[in-house]
Amino acid sequence: MLEKLQVLGVGDNFFVGSIPSSIFNISSLQYINISQCNLTGPFPSGMCSPLSQLERVYFHKNEIVGQLPESIGYCSKLQILSSYDNNITGSIPKGIGNLTML
């Protein structure tokens, strides 16, 4: 349905709930901005597995909890990961070392 979507920019909205895992099934995405949306809960566990084209991710200023998933290492083209002002805990995933453009 959205297989050609490259940009998802819905930041600065009043969404409620967790990050929808379905957005991480859109393999053509290059840019995701869901910052300042009052989202809660953890990052989806397999969030980067199908997103080989993803370059920029903005999750800052939400209420996301837990740690970054190990699957972040699959986003091989990732250049920007903005996740400040959340409640992220735990260690940095080893897979983040694979992101040479970050």
pTM of the model: 0.89
pLDDT of residue 44: 87
Summarised one tens digit per residue, pLDDT across range 40-97 is 999 988 888 878 899 999 999 999 999 999 999 999 999 999 999 999 999 999 989 9
pLDDT digits (tens, 9 = 90+) for 1-56: 688 999 999 999 999 899 988 888 898 999 999 999 999 999 988 888 878 899 99
Domains and CATH numbers, the chain: 7-98 (3.80.10.10)
Q: Which long-range contacts (CB under 8 A, 24 or more apart) does 48-53 make?
A: 48/24, 48/72, 48/73, 48/74, 48/75, 48/78, 49/24, 49/74, 50/24, 50/25, 51/24, 51/26, 51/27, 51/75, 52/27, 52/76, 52/77, 53/6, 53/27, 53/28, 53/29, 53/77
Whole-number pLDDT of residue 3: 83
pLDDT at 1: 66
Q: What pLDDT was estimated at residue 52?
A: 85
